[in-house]
Amino acid sequence: MRRIRTIIAYDGTDYVGWQTQNNGIAVQEKVEQAIFEVTGQRSSLQGSGRTDSGVHARAQVAHFDTDVRMAADKFAIALNTHLPADIRVLYSEETTPEFHARFSAKEKQYRYFVQTGPHADVFSRKYSLHAYMPLDLDLMNEAAALVVGTHDFSAFMSTGREVETAVRTVSLSRWEKQGKFLIYSVQGNGFLYNMVRILVGTMLGMGSGRLPRDSMERALLSLSRKDAGPTAPPHGLVLWRVKYPDFDTEEVLSRVP
Amino acid sequence: MRRIRTIIAYDGTDYVGWQTQNNGIAVQEKVEQAIFEVTGQRSSLQGSGRTDSGVHARAQVAHFDTDVRMAADKFAIALNTHLPADIRVLYSEETTPEFHARFSAKEKQYRYFVQTGPHADVFSRKYSLHAYMPLDLDLMNEAAALVVGTHDFSAFMSTGREVETAVRTVSLSRWEKQGKFLIYSVQGNGFLYNMVRILVGTMLGMGSGRLPRDSMERALLSLSRKDAGPTAPPHGLVLWRVKYPDFDTEEVLSRVP
């Protein structure tokens, strides 16, 4: 058996998320079906992690095993002929059996896009949150800086999910203005369920004055969900980058034309 | 009666075009319905010109008459509450009865977006043509330069439409590379039916080597449709800018946040 490693982009609008669920179609099952059509074999596809319903990916990483003798880089092209236009396999290569898309991942980066004009831009409406309100970007960046480091993020987790530990290490957390967008980039060794969306909801609440200016600090100390803000909508969120010791989607995408 | 002038953006994917037809829903009728819901009056909406089925607009200009006493700049906000998310009124103001969105227009600019990577980008797939092939951008820009000036564009018009004259003046015509996109910008005092899409199809044919290197020159001289290339698909095309003696969408959009 050979292990094939892929980078997959998807528009999450019409999916229940990455992982197969009972309530709709998942990206994972679409790609598994394409693998079956290409190889004639049922293979299970392992992603670097789940993304929620409506969340997008610019660079999800996933692997599957197959004994089909096809040049590894050709799987991307072959799979795309069996995939809908809102899912694209951007890259494929052979890797070692030790590689695991989820367990080998060192860091992930998410980006959250906010558009702040008076009228939502029609062309990016499905990939960004429209929030027409004065936002204090400096205050939001002060809050974002507090997130960097190793913290117990219990306050930034949707209730009802059991985890062994809510301690995560964040290496990058900042807001930037790019044209009509405010973009929040956050990178870390792991994220709790809804963590990025709750971080964004907290900072938008602070930046707009609807939440106290010290909400981020309080939530990080109290570990209480009610000190954090609301969960921001999914459609502004994009899984942007996944890093492994020997594989970085950012590096690969920069050399794939 | 007051005349209200608007700038409208739309994602043309799900429409038969700007103008009301028998075969589906047009952008014009969606906005006319919103005007009725806001004003209680049936007003006809005059656009700067038609866009074809599937073509987008970043800045269409349209006017309508009403005697409703509402601050003119509030129409944009009011209309948007009655419009689907793929149509946005970006701006509204009162103008003079002499202004006519179609007859007063001096110049229009269209842009055509081509993405040239091996796999179509999922996030811009509805707003750009995916053409994975080597393209000679220098040759395409030489051809684009031939378009500038006053020419008989009979070769660049879909057959079956009667026009008084096919002579048009083009003031800007060039290709630019912007990230993963090749963008063709063309501005002129008027465009024939499918003219921009046939210009693009001709230049893509030349740039990829499927058409003779002198196709543009020949078509401009012969006035024969068969010397030009195929009509490029609609979804890469965007009505980008409309200019009037006293009103330029580019200037207005630069000061509206």
**CA A237 to CA A55: how far, in whole Å?**
5
Q: Does A83 touch chain B (CB under 8 A)?
A: no
DSSP letter for B31, please. H
CATH of residue B32: 3.30.70.580
Number of domains in chain B: 2
Residue A254 lies inside a defined structural domain of this protein: no
Decide: A200 and A236 in contact? Cβ < 8 Å: yes
Give me the helix-helix angle, A195-208 and A215-222, nearest 10°.
140
Active-site residue flag, B152: no
H helices present in chain A, as ranges: 27-39, 74-80, 137-147, 195-208, 215-222, 249-255
As given in the structure block, the two tokens for residue A117 are 């004009």
Enumerate the residues of chain B whose CB falls inside 8 A of the CB of residue A115. Answer: none
CA distances from B252 to A63, A71, B132 (A): 49, 53, 36
Task: Mark B122-145 as b/e (b = at least 16 C-beta within 10 Å).
Answer: bbbbbbbbbbeeebebebbbbbbe
* Distance (Å, whole) CA A38 – CA A81: 9
Angle at B79 between CA B65 and CA B101, to 5 degrees: 40
- Separation between Cα atoms, residue B121 and residue B142, nearest integer Å: 28
Cα-atom radius of gyration of chain B, to the nearest Å? 19
Q: What residues of B are in contact with residue A12 (Cβ under 8 Å)?
A: none
Chain A residues with beta carbon closer than 8 angstroms to that of B120: 85, 88
First to last CA, chain A: 29
Same domain, B63 and B167: no
Residue B23 binned pLDDT confidence (cut-offs 50, 70, 90): confident
Q: What is the CATH number of the domain that holds B204?
A: 3.30.70.660
Same structural domain for residues B117 and B85?
no
Phi-psi region of A3 (alpha: psi -120 to 50; beta: other; left: phi over 0): beta
CB A68 within 8 A of CB A54: no
* pLDDT recorded at residue A129: 98
Whether residue B113 is found in the same domain as residue B199: yes
Asked if A120's CB is within 8 angstroms of B85's CB, the reply is: yes
Quick one: which of A179, A212, A210, A215 has its CA closest to A199?
A: A215
Tokens standing for A48? 């670097």
- Out of B76, B104, B132, a domain closes at B104
Residue A134, token pair as written in the block: 């004065």
Q: Do B10 and A90 touch (CB under 8 A)?
A: no
A40: left (phi over 0), alpha (psi -120 to 50) or beta: left
* Chain A: closest CA distance from residue B57 (Å): 9
Is the domain of A45 the same as that of A155? Answer: no
The ipTM of this complex is 0.91
Task: Flag whether residue A256 sits within 8 Å of chain B, measured between CB atoms.
Answer: yes
Per the domain annotation, does A248 fall within a domain? no
Report whether A119 contacts A228 (CB < 8 A). Answer: no
pLDDT tens for chain A, residues 1 to 257: 999 999 999 999 999 999 988 889 999 999 999 999 999 999 999 999 999 999 999 999 999 999 999 999 999 999 999 999 999 999 999 999 999 999 999 999 999 999 999 999 999 999 999 999 999 999 999 999 999 999 999 999 987 667 889 999 999 999 999 988 999 999 999 999 999 999 999 999 999 999 999 999 999 999 999 999 999 999 999 999 999 999 999 999 998 76
Tokens found for residue B96: 């003079």
Question: Is the C-alpha dihedral spanning A213, A214, A217, A220 positive or negative?
Answer: negative
| Same-domain status, B233 and B124 | yes
Same domain? A148 vs A209: yes
> Does A250 fall in a domain?
no
> Do A87 and A131 fall into the same domain?
no
- What local confidence, expressed as pLDDT, does residue A164 receive? 86
Are residues A113 and A38 part of one domain? Answer: no
Domain limit, last residue, from B104, B121, B152 = B104
Please say which residue of A80, A104, A128 terminates a domain: A104
Dihedral pair phi/psi, residue B185, rounded to 5°: -110, 130
State residue B163's pLDDT score: 81
B25 in contact with chain A, both atoms CB, cutoff 8 A: no
Read off the DSSP letter of residue A30.
H
Angstrom CA distances, B53 to A117, A158, B146, B149, stand at: 27, 44, 28, 28
**Of A52, A67, A73, A248, which residue is the catalytic one?**
A52
Chain B: closest CA distance from residue A96 (Å): 25
Considering the domain architecture, whether residues A231 and A208 belong to the same structural domain is answered as yes
Query: How far B256 CA lies from chain A's nearest CA (Å)?
Result: 8
Tell whether A90 is within 8 A of chain B (Cβ): yes
Query: Is residue B253 a part of any domain in this protein?
Result: no
For residue A126, give the chain B residue with the closest CA.
B123
Contacts B121 to A, Cβ<8 Å: 9, 88
Q: For Cα atoms B51, B47, A126, give the angle at the middle one, nearest 5 degrees.
A: 60
Looking at residue A138, what is its pLDDT? 98
B74 close contact with A: CB closer than 8 A: no
Let me know if residue B163 belongs to a domain: yes
Report yes or no: B182 and B201 within 8 Å, Cβ to Cβ.
Answer: no
Based on the domain organization, do A135 and A231 belong to the same domain?
A: yes
Q: Rounded CA gap, B72 and B93, in Å?
A: 5
| B35 CA: distance to closest CA in chain A (Å) | 17
Domain that residue B94 falls in: 2-104
For residue A13, list chain B residues with Cβ-Cβ distance below 8 A.
none
Asked if A111 and A235 sit in the same domain, the reply is: yes
For residue A247, being part of any structural domain is answered with: no
Q: What's at B126, amino acid-wise?
A: K
Question: CA-CA distance, A58 to A60, in Å (whole number)?
Answer: 7
Has residue B131 been placed in a domain?
yes
The answer on B112 and B96 residing in a single domain is no
Q: Please write the tens of the pLDDT for every residue from B165-209.
A: 999 999 999 999 998 899 999 999 999 999 999 999 999 999 999
B30 at interface of A, judged by CB pairs closer than 8 A: no
Residue B202 belongs to some domain of the structure: yes
Q: Is A7 on the interface with B (CB under 8 A)?
A: no
Q: SS3 of A1, please?
A: coil
